[in-house]
Amino acid sequence: MKYLDANLNLYKTFIAVYEARKISGASVNIGIAEPTINYQIRELEKMLGAKLFTSHSRGVEPTSEADTLYPSAMAAISTLEKAAENLRTFDENSEAKIRMILPTTMAVTTLGHFFRDFRKKYPKIELEIYSRAQQENYNLFSLGQVDFVIDTDDICKKQNLKTIDFLTLNLVFIASKKFLIMNGFSQIIDKNDLSKLALIGHVENIKKIINETELELSPYIKTSSYEPIYPLVRLGTGIGLFTREYMENQDNDDVVELTIKNFNMQPQIKISCGYDKSRLTKASMAFIDDLLAFIQKN
């Protein structure tokens, strides 16, 4: 079929223009002159028999045909790049790129020291960490733009990924001292008082507390990620349900851990590595192996 005769660079140029939405932006990103980019897009359009972009004052707009082509082109390029990388010998002096999805709080605290050690061991490996809204993250994964995901186990399994158990994080109730004083509480509160205070937590954790304790939590603030919880607690918005591991890495005397009397539940988060074996490179497998060893050691 004639579209298979195209130079692979035509598809790479198409991807660059699609993502940048500007010829000038694509030129900067891939280091190719604008006239060459225009020529390559015209050649690809001619070969495919389809218009890929329309021009406007701010740049270019992908057509529906371009929207159809983009995910397939991304997946094909990613597959070929990974295959080429896996054919090369891999050692501590190898040049490679590892792309992962990792929540910000985990990258900064729980795994911060591991990143430092891994960079020392593999100084020529480039790391790309994506921490965005979950749906956007998994769109990147489906397009082949990331190698693996480190996230809560239930999220990984919802995406039908194979998983490796990494670690379990303990959740604790936290509050700012100012918030406690304003509401007439100390650091020790009764379980029933949770229903009187605004609880800030991840939507899944709040569901578990409601289901397992039969507490009527109201009002509460549900979040789709863990990032907003600590800042909201510091501002005195309410009490938070957050990881003890993150708290232990904070140098902030204003936010304290609470003791909840008569509360027998120990909320936890199970963290896993979600992956598709066909997408793992030698470099990403080395990263996962070293991370498992680091967690077991610490």
Using one digit for the tens of pLDDT, what is the confidence trace for 3-28?
555 578 899 899 999 999 999 999 99
pLDDT of residue 153: 81
pLDDT of residue 275: 86
Q: Determine the Cα–Cα distance for residues 10 and 77; give it in Å rounded to an integer.
A: 11
Q: Read off the pLDDT of each residue in 26-48 and give the average, rounded to a whole number.
A: 91
Q: Which residues are 173's β-sheet partners?
A: 241
Q: Read off the pLDDT of each residue in 95-111 and give the average, rounded to a whole number.
A: 78
Lowest pLDDT segment from 126-140, 147-161, 171-185, 265-279? 126-140
Q: Read off the pLDDT of each residue in 210-216 and give the average, rounded to a whole number.
A: 80
Is residue 122 predicted with pLDDT exceeding 60? yes
| Residue 219 per-residue DSSP state | S
Q: Beta strands 96-101 and 125-130: pairing type?
A: parallel
Q: Read off the pLDDT of each residue in 143-157 and give the average, rounded to a whole number.
A: 81
Secondary element (H or E) of residue 116: helix 112-121
pLDDT greater at residue 191 or residue 217: 191
Domains of the chain: 2-85 (1.10.10.10), 86-166+270-297 (3.40.190.10), 168-269 (3.40.190.10)
pLDDT of residue 136: 67
Which pTM value belongs to this model? 0.65
Which pLDDT band holds residue 287 (cuts at 50, 70, 90)? Answer: very high
Q: Read off the pLDDT of each residue in 268-289 and give the average, rounded to a whole number.
A: 86
Is residue 296 predicted with pLDDT exceeding 50? yes
Q: Determine the Cα–Cα distance for residues 20 and 41; give it in Å rounded to an integer.
A: 14
Q: Read off the pLDDT of each residue in 99-110 and give the average, rounded to a whole number.
A: 75
Q: What would the DSSP string read from start to end of 131-190? A: ---HHHHHHHHHTT--SEEEEEHHHHHHTT-EEEEEEEEEEEEEEEHHHHHHTT--SEEE
Lowest pLDDT segment from 54-63, 103-112, 252-261? 103-112
Overall residue count recorded for the chain in this entry: 298
pLDDT greater at residue 81 or residue 74: 74
Which pLDDT band holds residue 137 (cuts at 50, 70, 90)? Answer: low
pLDDT greater at residue 258 or residue 195: 258
Q: Among all chains, which residue has been given the structure tokens 């990403």?
A: 284
pLDDT greater at residue 260 or residue 160: 260
| Residue 48 per-residue DSSP state | H
pLDDT greater at residue 210 or residue 21: 21
Token pair of 235 as six digits: 């501002």
Q: What is the mean pLDDT of the chain?
A: 84
Q: Determine the Cα–Cα distance for residues 263 and 258; give it in Å rounded to an integer.
A: 11
Most confident residue range from 144-153, 182-191, 196-205: 182-191
171, exposed or middle or buried, with CB in 10 Å at 0-12, 13-18, 19+? buried
pLDDT of residue 244: 85
pLDDT greater at residue 83 or residue 220: 220
Q: Determine the Cα–Cα distance for residues 73 and 30; give it in Å rounded to an integer.
A: 16
pLDDT of residue 1: 45
pLDDT of residue 94: 82
pLDDT of residue 88: 66
Does residue 89 sit in helix, strand or coil? coil
pLDDT greater at residue 20 or residue 94: 20
Quick one: how far is CA 56 from the chain centroid?
Answer: 33
